Amino acid sequence: MSITPRAIYAGSFDPLTYGHLNVIERGARIVGELVVAVARNTSKNGVFSTDERIELIREATQHIDNIRIDAFEGLLVEYARKIDARLLLRGLRSVNDFQYEFQMALTNKELWADIDTVFLATEGKYAHVASSLIREIVAMGGSVRGMVPEHVERKLVEKLAPR
């Protein structure tokens, strides 16, 4: 049995949640190197710039030795091919996530036969946490303590909290 040398955990991470962090920590334990790949998506109006998201992830993951944080644009399989990563790591919160992610895994396999996808079920205490809900809660003046790291919550409040 050989360990997969490099895997990618990709997402927008806008913002990074404890659910994301849980998948990052667990994924890093099962691969040689985990590349946390922040998607540059110019069609979405996110809260944080790509550089800000990278910095927030970097601060939250400084205790993990075998990760690299990077940004990419375009097709994930092309980025994977470019950095020689043949494994995609995806977190699942619900059956609805599985349907979408399974379709994406099959499509990615069609685009590049050498890529595989591994799904990690999110721990139950994070199953309800979604970045879109986090943004909405903060924008309405609510607390997201326990759903995102403290430094992420502070930055969200700076950008979104009602004045």
Tell me how crowded residue 155 is: count the other CB atoms within 10 A of its CB.
22
Question: What does the block give as tokens for 134?
Answer: 């986090």
**Angstrom distances, CA of residue 47 to CA of 91, 149, 159:** 22, 16, 7
Strand 6-11: give its sheet, edge to edge. 67-72, 33-39, 6-11, 87-92, 116-121
Supply the residues annotated as catalytic.
20, 44, 93, 131
Q: What angle do CA 13, 14, 20 make, to 5 degrees?
A: 35
